Amino acid sequence: MTDPPYLDTLGLWEAAAALPEQLSVALDTARDAFDGLGPSDAAVVRTVAAFGLGTGGTACEAAAALTAGRLPLPFWLGHGPEVPAFVDAHTLVFAVSSSGGTEETLAAAAEAASRGARVVAVGGDADGALARLALGAALSWCPAVGRLGSQGGRGTPGAPRARAALGAVTVPLLVALSRIGLVPDCVPSVDAAAAALARRRDALLAPGGAAQELARRIGRTIPLVYGSSGVTAVAARWWKARVNLNAKTPAFAAVVPELTYDELAGWGQGGDVTRQTMSLVLLRHAGEGSRAGDLFEAVRAATEEVMADVLEVRAEGDDDLSRFFDLALLGELVSLHLAAHEGVDPGPAPAVEEAHAGGGRPSPR
């Protein structure tokens, strides 16, 4: 996609459209970067811990969800600098920062390395703080690279490189786990996902396509995005974050079955207000758990009269990896259409930058 007729000073439309190529380039880059990893590393690994915020945090969550049924070890997720007591020489640690400069992730990586953990760093470029940390501590490191659009080269942490690098920092985690022998080879699945997404992209970018229609129906309401345990739970949180960052509007996310034990009761009152202000988006896919369908129907029955609209989105793809990135691309494009409809530039996020401006801290990515 070139030169969209929308305000987009940082090239996020082009970067989003490049996701299929990003997956392929990330696969090749990670295979080279992690050439030194092998089954011998698995002999001492008893737990996996992953640290990340923003796009890096989503990559950690996606890797955990995508390997949950095959990884024979506990996979712990951290979204801050605190390193749990169990992290030691028997822990494989992922430190993921798409910008290469997220302060909390750098602190966690340094602490984990000091305890003798096997730390694998992912993100940024060779000039970034994460790469320098990896070099100084002799850690494995993979850059965040891919076809991210004309503005996707080396730049500031707030540029599209960090915001649009979901594939570039997710795929290396899967490659590392495969190389060590903790999960099956991910290459066929990533290749298939990239090919499927390239075909899907044309339909999603077409005028009047699914992304534009979803954005039209959401309009100025606040989207509440519900997924189910696994990849759509991660995708739901990704949609929420994209709407926040790109459209500069509120959005919220939750997951079944958990929300059916508490949040669902919250729609019993206030329908006169919520009917004017909120839309519900249900993320569905062929691999969801056996009870998910019944729970989504229960959610629809309980909320249909108190929402401006209830929208059901079904992921395309033959496996969880393809379905996850299908939903990730769709959510990104929906958020960009929401921004375009209001004449909002999706790139700059001054509130985020200002929140992390103290001491020159980069925004979390």
My answer on whether 168 and 265 are in the same domain is no
The size of the chain, in residues, is: 365
Interatomic CA distance for residues 154 and 180, integer angstroms: 30
Instruction: Tell me whether residue 319 is in a domain.
Output: yes
The residue-averaged pLDDT of 238-247 equals 98
pLDDT > 70: percent of the chain? 92
The residue-averaged pLDDT of 2-11 equals 76
User: Residue 362: which pLDDT band, with cuts at 50, 70 and 90?
Assistant: low
Residue 2 pLDDT > 80: no
Instruction: Tell me whether residue 168 is in a domain.
Output: yes
Q: What is the mean pLDDT of the chain?
A: 92
My answer on whether 145 and 205 are in the same domain is no
Residue 236 pLDDT > 50: yes
My answer on whether 98 and 221 are in the same domain is no
My answer on whether 24 and 132 are in the same domain is yes
Residue 120 pLDDT > 90: yes
Burial of residue 51, with CB atoms counted within 10 A of its CB: 0-12 exposed, 13-18 middle, 19 or more buried = buried
- pLDDT tens for 209-226 read 999 999 999 999 999 999
Residue 351 pLDDT > 80: yes
Residue 156 pLDDT > 70: no
- pLDDT tens for 245-261 read 999 999 999 999 999 99
Query: Which of 156, 186, 216 marks a domain boundary?
Result: 186
pLDDT of residue 159: 44
User: Residue 4: which pLDDT band, with cuts at 50, 70 and 90?
Assistant: low
My answer on whether 168 and 208 are in the same domain is no
Query: Which of 152, 186, 220 marks a domain boundary?
Result: 186
Contact 56, 238 (CB under 8 A): no
Lowest mean pLDDT among 111-120, 149-158, 255-264, 319-328: 149-158
User: Residue 199: which pLDDT band, with cuts at 50, 70 and 90?
Assistant: very high
Instruction: Tell me whether residue 45 is in a domain.
Output: yes
My answer on whether 220 and 330 are in the same domain is yes
- pLDDT tens for 315-346 read 999 999 999 999 999 999 999 999 999 999 99
pLDDT of residue 161: 64
pTM for this entry: 0.93
My answer on whether 129 and 221 are in the same domain is no
Residue 358 pLDDT > 80: no
Domain count of the fold of the chain: 2
Instruction: Tell me whether residue 153 is in a domain.
Output: yes
Question: How far does Cα 227 stand from its chain's mean position?
Answer: 14
Contact 118, 44 (CB under 8 A): yes
My answer on whether 81 and 177 are in the same domain is yes
Residue 203 pLDDT > 80: yes
Count of other CB atoms within 10 angstroms of residue 280:
23
Instruction: Tell me whether residue 172 is in a domain.
Output: yes
User: Residue 194: which pLDDT band, with cuts at 50, 70 and 90?
Assistant: very high
Contact 146, 170 (CB under 8 A): no
Q: SS3 letters for the chain?
A: CCCCCCCCCCCHHHHHHCHHHHHHHHHHHHHHHCCCCCHHHHCCCCEEEEEECHHHHHHHHHHHHHHCCCCCCCEEEECCCCCCCCCCCCEEEEEECCCCCCHHHHHHHHHHHHCCCEEEEECCCCCCHHHHHHHHHCCEEECCCCCCCCCCCCCCCCCHHHHCCHHHHHHHHHHHHHHHCCCCCCHHHHHHHHHHHHHHHHHHHCCCCHHHHHHHHHCCCEEEEEEECCHHHHHHHHHHHHHHHHHCCCCEEEEECHHHHCHHHHHHCCHHHHHHHEEEEEEECCCCCCCHHHHHHHHHHHHHHHCCEEEEEECCCCCHHHHHHHHHHHHHHHHHHHHHHCCCCCCCCHHHHHHCCHHHCCCCC
My answer on whether 84 and 225 are in the same domain is no
**What is the CATH number for 235?**
3.40.50.10490
* Domain assignment of residue 232, given as a range: 196-341
Residue 65 pLDDT > 70: yes
Instruction: Tell me whether residue 238 is in a domain.
Output: yes
Instruction: Tell me whether residue 352 is in a domain.
Output: no
Interatomic CA distance for residues 196 and 332, integer angstroms: 17
My answer on whether 59 and 116 are in the same domain is yes
My answer on whether 77 and 134 are in the same domain is yes
My answer on whether 279 and 318 are in the same domain is yes
Cβ-Cβ contacts under 8 Å for 68 (sequence gap 6 or more): 75, 230
Instruction: Tell me whether residue 3 is in a domain.
Output: no
pLDDT > 90: percent of the chain? 85
